[in-house]
Structure 1
Amino acid sequence: MEKRMFVCPKCGHYGFVQDQFQATGGTLTKMFDIQNKKFITISCERCGFTEIYREETTMGSNILDFLIGG
C-alpha cells in the first residue's frame, strides 16, 4: 500500500501501524477454508482507531493459498 500522510479522524494523531489480514468469502471458500479476501488495516498508534481497506487478490495467490493450506 502506498504510504500517505495519516491523520486519525478520532484523535488527530499522525502515527499509525499498518497490517493485513485475510478472510473467506462465500460458502465454498468457507467449506475448504480458502481465504480469498485480503484486507489492509491502518490503526492509530494513540487511540487504536482502525480503518480497513480491501486489497485485490489474484487467481495465482488464491491457488497458492489453497495449495499451502491458508
Structure 2
Amino acid sequence: MTTLAQHQQRVVDEKADLDDKLVKLTEFMVRSPIFADLPMTERARLARQYSAMMEYNLVLGERIACFGSYA
C-alpha cells in the first residue's frame, strides 16, 4: 500500500470529517421534529448547505481518486 503525502492525508481526513457531518445533517433534516418546525427560509438554507457540502465531498473524492495518478 502506498503511503500518502501529508497534504493528501489531510484531504482524506477532511473528507472523513465531512462524511460524518453529512450523515448528521441528513439525520437532522430527515428525522428531527425540530427541522420540521423551522421556518421555510431556514430549511431552505440548510438544504443549500447540504447541497454545497455534497459538492465539496464529491470534489474531495475526485481528488483522492487521483492521488495515485501523479507521483
TM range (shorter): under 0.3
| Structure showing the higher helix proportion among its residues | 2
Q: RCO (CA 8 Å, sep 6+): is it higher in 1 or 2?
A: 2
| Structure showing the higher strand proportion among its residues | 1
Q: Structure 2 length as normaliser, TM-score?
A: 0.20
